[in-house]
Amino acid sequence: MPASLTASTRVVGVIGDPVRHSLSPLLHNAAFAAMRLDWASVAFPVPAGEVGPALAGMRALGVEGLSVTMPHKQAALAGVDHTSETATRLGAINTIVRRNGQLVGENTDGAGFLDAVHTAGCDPVGWRCLILGAGGAARAIVVALAGAGAAEVVVVNRTPTRAEQAAALAGAVGRVGSADEVDRADLVVHATPLGMLGVSPASRAGEQGPTSDQLPLDPARLGPGQLVVDLVYHPRDTPLLKAARDRGAMVQDGVGMLVHQAAHALAFWTGEKPPVAAMMAAVDSAPRLRA
């Protein structure tokens, strides 16, 4: 954030409910400082059902861009003037930019995931990939991996219909599978809240479910030659990553995707190359993520 806000400071934000925990302002303000831009990022709590008025306010107040988080990614799609091909295909947006008075919706989750994987020195071309989960982030990753040349994208979800819908996004290389196939995968992506501090599937779905210290798969099936990615970033070193590391697999926490998808959003807003290193350093310094 600039040393002092001025009447010419350009504003972006993140909308969600809840949203006070979001790291988006931290990431983007660190980037603006590194780029020496007179921009500032803030959090806007927007209750469910109030996306329309929020986007009207964005237009009226000249807010330059928004990050969109739960529960608004689908509802916001209907409130913008244009969407990218990827966002339309996914039926959800996580980024909005104001251009010439028009609101343009984008989804940067898949691109952010691929950037994080590439940063780890990996390329999913020809890989067999197994995705645990079928929510918004999982679907974005399914599309991204198929587009990046993965040989197979297998979706695992406890709700068969959701698994089928997510797998279909990968076209010919997508199919529904089970966690028992994990030993055949080159890439394993965990895209559910399991393992997140203070959150379990039961608490989110309002039903009986696994506790937060349980694993989404049998760790004995993991081993050398695999990359295991957990999108959970609080804690950064999740039970799944610890188990995968103990078995000799490569691991990557959820911060990589978090930072890179935010960097793509910043590029859409400003038209400039984002300082990814400065954004990563900001997350590394966040006290609540050091655990």
The span from the CA of 163 to the CA of 178, in Å, is: 10
122 close to 115: Cβ distance less than 8 angstroms: no
Q: What are residue 27's phi and psi, to 5 degrees?
A: -65, -50
* Structural tokens at position 40: 């500032």
Nearest Cα residue to 34 out of 282, 290, 287, 285: 282
DSSP string computed for 177-214: --GGGGGG-SEEEE-SSTT-TT--HHHHHTS----TTS
The span from the CA of 105 to the CA of 141, in Å, is: 18
- Distances in Å between the alpha carbon of 225 and those of 53, 58, 166, 186? 49, 47, 26, 7
73 is catalytic: yes
272 HSE (CA, 13 A, CB side) = 12
Say which of 72, 73, 190, 264 is annotated catalytic: 73
* Structural tokens at position 218: 């049998």
187 close to 207: Cβ distance less than 8 angstroms: no
DSSP bridge partners of 176: 155
Per DSSP, 234 falls in state: S
The span from the CA of 7 to the CA of 2, in Å, is: 12
Q: Which residues are catalytic?
A: 73
